[in-house]
């Protein structure tokens, strides 16, 4: 590695390794993830959406500003304007999310739900054995998901441009908001969240205000007190139900599909719910929350249960219907592909023998003999699923590879498959083979690359769209950040061991590839970089980090490496703070494209990050503005963003987070590690950020030993999911 220094710049004391330079820590860069912020615009700020970005939109996050922290939900971090009279509730508040509204109070509680709720408490308190719990229903009975949709699936729609109710209904919402002291600017979001009966719903249950992104619990409490008076106490059943949903929605943003009951109870206690057990019982009885049991695997060295009479330890999991049903539908669909696969008359061995590498040959042979295959590898390994698709086509099969971004298509074309499609385009019918008469995708073989980016809802939609007997290959780099939405699909499928798993032996080349490959196994090396492919730029504080970043992008990298500024991407851990994306984008705009921001803060030529839907970030450039909105060029495609959606979905994009950058690579990348980000770094974040560089990587390094420590000791944070157990249950032989 080498350091980058010009006359007048602080002189580093010799060549540094990534772990070698101290910095002065400061506060501020640790913020909610892109996904959380996408779901949480500040209600009364016209620029509330500048953080509405996709990330492992990493969905996911809490204490870690960009990656999903995946622990119990963390206290709120957003700063929304509180309605008059609101006071913070004790113990903090959960980050806002688009929570579903709680059921109206007074609905009858079923005997099954009552018994189930009692069982939850009894098992965990030790009053009942886990074995006895297995004799009761684990959740309300539900119909199995259909094998495939009856009609073509549509992509996730963009948020509506206006409320779903008329002017009279909107006036009623404003009246209720005014009575509760809430800002009038919440009227449209409330109408969008609660629908035609929004005003009546708020009067009956003021805590349904929490269904609006950006509204915090203490704000909803103040609103409820203004409407209900002394009746609006912390133990109100309506409040408890709304907060239970809110905690689970927050957990979904952090990547969990379910939470363990103790974690959910603890989160409710932090929100000043007097009786968390009663709150859970109410939520379960109303069907707001589903409850599941899962056997606990014995730890290392622990004896396995002996005999039928020995108690099987279980953990109780609670989740929202949408996440639970998506995960079950996905498990059912993957099991269906495995069980309905039959090897056809195709002759795969000549194609395998002609494969460009031994790993490609292994993948072709695995796909020839199984309906579901996982394939793990780095950037160079993308050529292997491309070879598989080519081999399948040579046998007359309908085969496609699907990626998540336009840049992914570019890289797959370079790897040998110019006909790749995007997952969103495939599902919508805009790309790929279309659907057959049964509504299934007209495919015999589908290889999904960058599979760690699949969340359970997208994955379920994709698998439901495949006909019986279709071969599905999930290919990806297991070391990158997980999906923006809930779940860890690729990791769970690999861990379940229900299908062949091919691990590529094709290494990524060059100094950047060597550095990133080492990080993936927990080692921070110092690769030889004779062409300045990897440069470490030590800094003392965030202010210097911003200065050096601008210098690198605007001058040093174009001059020394030959990569222009427009092909260099800056990546930093968080949005806020003195070296977050906001500060870096402001400094980079001033240097690279100064202007008054006359189009809603943007000027022609500005680089932007456009997020049409949570979890999807499209790099683009502003080309102009029209009466209808802002015109962008995103990868050669002209996109018009409606003016009412600009603040929510577009922000400057010279600097992004690693979650936003996942799935895309640039000729050069500058990764900024300010001192105040030290505690947020994980191996998967570093691996993802450093791996965005194709030719050159500069590391603006101010975290001292936190970098090698994170690489060696801080792997990806866990998510609580059920897919692995569901797949293993499907794979157990029938008794």
Q: Cα separation of 388 and 361, whole Å?
A: 8
Among 512, 540, 547, 545, residue whose Cα is nearest residue 526: 512
Q: Say which residues have a Cβ less than 8 Å from residue 15's Cβ, sequence separation at least 6.
A: 1, 2, 3, 536
Which of residues 79 and 572 earns the better pLDDT score? 572
Instruction: State the average pLDDT over residues 577-592.
Output: 96
Q: What's the pLDDT at 616?
A: 81
Q: Cα separation of 26 and 33, whole Å?
A: 19
User: In percent, how much of the chain has pLDDT > 70?
Assistant: 75
Q: Cα separation of 662 and 476, whole Å?
A: 12
Q: What's the pLDDT at 299?
A: 62
Q: What's the pLDDT at 215?
A: 92
Instruction: State the average pLDDT over residues 608-630.
Output: 90
* pTM > 0.85: no
Torsion (CA) 261, 262, 263, 264 in degrees, nearest 10: 50
Strand partners, 400: 446
For 41-50, 698-707, 723-732, which range has the lowest pLDDT when averaged over its residues? 41-50
- Chain-centre distance of CA 261, in angstroms? 23
Q: What's the pLDDT at 67?
A: 38
Instruction: State the average pLDDT over residues 146-160.
Output: 40
80's tokens? 């929304």
Q: Say which residues have a Cβ less than 8 Å from residue 379's Cβ, sequence separation at least 6.
A: 411, 477, 508, 513, 665, 691
Q: Cα separation of 314 and 533, whole Å?
A: 51
Q: What are phi and psi of 292, to 5 degrees?
A: -135, 155
For 4-13, 107-116, 258-267, 664-673, which range has the lowest pLDDT when averaged over its residues? 4-13
For 130-144, 246-260, 284-298, 411-425, which range has the lowest pLDDT when averaged over its residues? 130-144
Mean pLDDT (the chain, rounded): 81
pLDDT, one tens digit per residue, over 308-349 is: 666 678 899 999 999 999 999 999 999 999 999 998 778 899
Q: Examine the pLDDT at 489 and tell me if it is beyond 80.
A: yes
Q: Examine the pLDDT at 153 and tell me if it is beyond 60.
A: no
Query: What totals of helices (H) and strands (E) does the chain contain, helices first?
Result: 27, 19
């Amino acid at each position: 590695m080498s350091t980058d220094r010009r006359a007048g710049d602080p002189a580093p004391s010799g060549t540094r390794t990534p772990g070698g330079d101290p910095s002065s820590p400061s506060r501020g860069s640790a913020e909610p993830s892109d996904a959380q912020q996408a779901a949480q615009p500040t209600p009364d700020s016209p620029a509330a959406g500048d953080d509405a970005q996709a990330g492992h939109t990493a969905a996911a996050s809490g204490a870690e500003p960009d990656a999903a922290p995946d622990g119990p939900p963390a206290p709120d971090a957003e700063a929304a304007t509180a309605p008059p009279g609101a006071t913070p509730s004790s113990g903090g508040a959960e980050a806002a999310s688009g929570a579903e509204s709680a059921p109206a109070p007074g609905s009858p509680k079923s005997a099954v739900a009552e018994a189930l709720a009692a069982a939850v408490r009894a098992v965990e308190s030790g009053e009942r054995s886990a074995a006895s719990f297995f004799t009761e229903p684990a959740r309300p009975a539900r119909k199995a998901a259909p094998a495939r949709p009856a009609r073509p699936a549509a992509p996730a729609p963009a948020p509506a441009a206006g409320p779903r109710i008329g002017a009279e209904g909107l006036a009623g919402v404003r009246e209720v908001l005014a009575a509760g002291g809430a800002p009038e600017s919440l009227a449209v979001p409330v109408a969008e969240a609660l629908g035609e009966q929004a005003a009546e719903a708020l009067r009956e249950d003021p805590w349904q205000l929490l269904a609006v992104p950006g509204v915090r619990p203490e704000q909803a409490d103040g609103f409820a007190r203004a409407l209900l008076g002394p009746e609006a106490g912390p133990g109100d059943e309506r409040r408890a139900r709304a907060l239970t949903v809110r905690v689970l929605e927050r957990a979904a943003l952090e990547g969990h599909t379910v939470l363990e009951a103790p974690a959910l109870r603890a989160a409710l206690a932090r929100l000043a719910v007097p009786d968390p057990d009663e709150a859970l019982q109410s939520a379960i009885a109303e069907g707001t929350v589903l409850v599941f049991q899962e056997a606990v695997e014995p730890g290392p060295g622990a004896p396995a249960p002996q005999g039928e009479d020995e108690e099987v330890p279980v953990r109780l999991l609670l989740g929202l219907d949408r996440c639970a049903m998506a995960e079950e539908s996905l498990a059912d669909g993957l099991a269906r592909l495995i069980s309905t696969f039959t090897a056809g008359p195709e002759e795969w061995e000549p194609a395998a023998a002609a494969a460009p590498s031994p790993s490609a040959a292994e993948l072709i042979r695995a796909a020839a003999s199984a309906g579901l295959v996982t394939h793990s590898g780095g950037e160079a390994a993308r050529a292997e699923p491309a070879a598989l698709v080519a081999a399948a086509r040579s046998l007359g099969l309908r085969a496609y590879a699907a990626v998540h971004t336009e840049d992914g298509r570019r890289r797959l074309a370079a790897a040998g498959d110019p006909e790749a499609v995007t997952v969103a385009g495939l599902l919508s019918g805009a790309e790929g083979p279309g659907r057959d008469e049964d509504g299934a995708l007209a495919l015999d073989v589908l290889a999904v690359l960058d599979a760690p980016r699949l969340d359970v809802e997208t994955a379920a939609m994709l698998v439901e769209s495949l006909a019986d007997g279709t071969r599905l290959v999930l290919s990806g780099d297991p070391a990158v950040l997980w999906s923006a939405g809930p779940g860890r699909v690729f990791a769970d499928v690999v861990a379940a061991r229900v299908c062949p798993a091919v691990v590529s032996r094709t290494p990524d080349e060059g100094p950047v590839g060597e550095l990133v490959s080492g990080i993936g196994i927990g080692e921070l090396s110092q690769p030889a970089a004779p062409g300045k492919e990897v440069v470490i730029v030590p800094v003392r504080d965030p202010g210097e980090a911003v200065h050096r970043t601008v210098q690198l992008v605007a001058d040093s990298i174009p001059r020394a490496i030959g990569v222009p500024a427009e092909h260099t991407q800056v990546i930093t851990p968080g949005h806020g703070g003195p070296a977050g994306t906001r500060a870096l984008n402001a400094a980079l705009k001033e240097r690279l494209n100064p202007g008054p921001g006359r189009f809603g803060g943007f000027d022609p030529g500005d680089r932007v990050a456009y997020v049409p839907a949570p979890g999807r970030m499209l790099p683009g450039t502003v080309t102009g503005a029209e009466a209808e909105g802002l015109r962008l060029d995103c990868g050669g495609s002209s996109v018009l963003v409606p003016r009412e959606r600009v603040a929510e979905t577009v922000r400057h994009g010279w600097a992004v987070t690693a979650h936003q950058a996942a799935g895309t690579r640039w000729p050069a990348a500058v990764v900024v590690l300010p001192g105040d980000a030290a505690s947020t770094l994980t191996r998967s974040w570093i691996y993802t950020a450093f791996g965005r560089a194709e030719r050159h990587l500069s590391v603006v390094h101010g975290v001292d030993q936190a970098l090698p420590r994170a690489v060696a000791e801080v792997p990806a944070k866990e998510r609580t999911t059920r897919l692995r157990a569901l797949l293993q249950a499907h794979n157990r032989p029938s008794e």
